[in-house]
Amino acid sequence: MQKTETAAVQSIGVDCVREIADLNTQFDIFRFLKRLTEAWEFRAFMVLDLSSEVASELSQYTVITSWPAELLQRYDEEGMLQTSRVMAQLKKSTVPFSVSMDFLVRGDGEIAKKTVINLFERFEMINSVWFPVHDITMRRGAVSFSGNKTALPASRLAELFYISSHVFARLSEIRRLDLRVPETLSEREIDCLNWTAAGKTSAEIAEIMMLSEHTINHYLNRATKKLDTVNRTQAVAKALRVGLIK
């Protein structure tokens, strides 16, 4: 690689790391990664916290992601995590690696392989790069970028690995700060979160609380914003974490 190319790659990485240091919320991180994903011509990103020993679904490991909701739901419904070669690799390696059709077809079980390949081809995410990372407490995680993009050159992989490491470290720091009690939620906002945690839809909560579905959505959206989360699922998770709901 030419010296000028090396310098350019290092400059981009340094600029990104400076920007990451100024990000203050999970949503800031989400927007940064979404912009990075688009700039690198990927389709989606995912950040995982691998510290759990009991998680049985990919969504339970997921901190933030731009994967299509249907893809993540189908992945969990089909129990794909249990036979995932990607997860097995993440748990035994600290080295970045790429996933392609060739990687996926080396798994066990023809039906399982076909299901995985068909699902990811449908969403044009058959190829991906994965970066095992950790924070200052040595909590392990991973950052990935998926799409139809073919293998990246070593210089680009190194740059993305550098950026991903700083993203995970900053996200972990933000999550530790998130354990502080957030802006006060109203009684009805907490009730809505409790019912959402119980698996109720907005329409069902509206019937239970004898309010309109529009009003329920308003309470849930406001609670999501107060909790500084991206969606209702994350709002419920954070509310549980800080003891606002049980």
Residue pair 57/76 in contact by the 8 Å Cβ criterion: yes
Same domain membership, residue 170 and residue 126: yes
Residue 7 pLDDT more than 60?
no
Residue carrying the six token digits 């997921």:
62
Same domain membership, residue 119 and residue 161: yes
Looking at residue 8, its pLDDT comes to: 44
Looking at residue 217, its pLDDT comes to: 96
Q: Assess if residue 12 is contained within a domain.
A: yes
Q: Assess if residue 37 is contained within a domain.
A: yes
| Residue 147, domain extent | 3-177
Looking at residue 6, its pLDDT comes to: 45
pTM across the whole model: 0.70
Q: Assess if residue 246 is contained within a domain.
A: no
Same domain membership, residue 191 and residue 173: no
Angle in degrees, 0-180, between the axes of helices 213-226 and 187-197, rounded to the nearest 10: 100
Same domain membership, residue 165 and residue 50: yes
Same domain membership, residue 121 and residue 27: yes
What value does the mean pLDDT of the chain take?
A: 87
What's the token pair of residue 5?
């190319």
Q: Assess if residue 146 is contained within a domain.
A: yes
Q: Domain total for the chain? A: 2
What's the token pair of residue 184?
């006060």
Q: How confident is the model at residue 240 (pLDDT cuts 50, 70, 90)?
A: confident
Q: Assess if residue 41 is contained within a domain.
A: yes
Same domain membership, residue 9 and residue 32: yes
Same domain membership, residue 206 and residue 234: yes
Residue 12 pLDDT more than 60?
yes
Same domain membership, residue 213 and residue 173: no
| Better-scored residue on pLDDT, 176 or 180 | 176
The total number of residues written for the chain in this structure? 246
Q: Mind listing the pLDDT tens digit for each residue in 38-92?
A: 999 999 999 999 987 778 899 989 999 999 999 999 999 999 998 899 999 998 8
Looking at residue 118, its pLDDT comes to: 92
Same domain membership, residue 102 and residue 50: yes
Report the percent of the chain where pLDDT is more than 90: 57
Residue pair 128/147 in contact by the 8 Å Cβ criterion: yes
Looking at residue 89, its pLDDT comes to: 94
Same domain membership, residue 201 and residue 149: no
Looking at residue 180, its pLDDT comes to: 60
Strands (E), the chain: 44-49, 62-65, 97-99, 127-134, 140-147
Same domain membership, residue 111 and residue 87: yes
Same domain membership, residue 150 and residue 197: no
Q: Assess if residue 144 is contained within a domain.
A: yes
